[in-house]
Amino acid sequence: MIVRILGEGQWDVSDEQLGPLNELDDAVEAAVESGDEAAFRTSLDGLLTAVRSHGEPLADDSLEDSDLILPPSDATLEEVRELLADDGLIPG
């Protein structure tokens, strides 16, 4: 699956990483819902780090459609609250 981190680029992440990424996404969502800024920052950083470390970066000139779009590392809690769907940042 192709994952875009806004402002950074795209990574090709294997489908087997979806489960672990969903767990990290759940932590982001819980932090946003509780308004816990420290937990939000930690969980968002963890999610983005997992994408970067488990995915293969795509070339900057690649024009792949993104399956998932994640906020940038400097996103605020309020910005991510607006991005969250019923399933979190990562559906499923």
- Sign of dihedral through CA atoms 39, 41, 45, 48? positive
What pLDDT, in 10s, does the model give residues 37-89? 999 999 999 999 999 999 999 998 888 899 999 999 999 999 998 887 655 66
Distance of CA 75 to the CA centre of its chain: 11
Mean pLDDT along residues 12-17: 95
pLDDT of residue 84: 78
pLDDT of residue 63: 82
pLDDT of residue 71: 95
Assess whether pLDDT exceeds 80 at residue 31.
Answer: yes
Query: 5 — phi, psi (to 5°)?
Result: -105, 115
